[in-house]
């Protein structure tokens, strides 16, 4: 189910880290424990950003940038 759009993917250093800028529909109930993972869509290498809803019960406090240094698992 599509709930948003990736606007930019930027390589930020040589340690294979990237910054993914994206927008999500405001009606989607995301909380502070929601995680984002980059997943393969098909065998051609197309990818998508998977959002997994957390269970902290604490809604995101603000709209804006959020950062994580946690690596995505294939």
Quote the tokens at residue 4.
Answer: 């948003």
Please give the model's pTM, rounded to 2 decimal places. Answer: 0.61
Quote the tokens at residue 31.
Answer: 């909380």
List, in order, residues 6 or more apart from 8 with CB less than 8 Å away: 19, 20, 21
pLDDT at 43: 93
Which H/E stretch holds residue 36?
strand 35-40
> Does residue 29 lie within any of the structural domains?
yes
Give strand pairing partners of 40.
Answer: 47
H helices of the chain, where? none
> Does residue 62 lie within any of the structural domains?
no
> Does residue 69 lie within any of the structural domains?
no
For residue 17, how far is the Cα from the chain centroid? Answer: 14
pLDDT digits (tens, 9 = 90+) for 12-44: 887 777 888 888 888 887 787 888 888 899 999
> Does residue 9 lie within any of the structural domains?
yes
> Does residue 63 lie within any of the structural domains?
no
Name the pairing type of β-strands 4-11 and 18-24.
antiparallel
Residue-range definition of the domain harbouring residue 35: 4-52
Number of domains into which the chain is organized: 1
> Does residue 32 lie within any of the structural domains?
yes
pLDDT above 90 covers a percentage of the chain that reads 7
């Amino acid at each position: 189910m599509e709930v948003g759009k990736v606007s930019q993917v930027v390589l930020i250093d040589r340690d294979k880290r990237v910054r993914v800028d994206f927008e999500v529909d405001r009606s989607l109930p995301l909380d502070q424990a929601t995680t984002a993972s980059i997943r393969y869509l098909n065998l051609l290498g197309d990818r998508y950003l998977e959002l997994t809803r957390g269970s902290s019960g604490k809604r995101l406090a603000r709209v804006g940038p959020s950062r994580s240094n946690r690596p995505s698992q294939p």
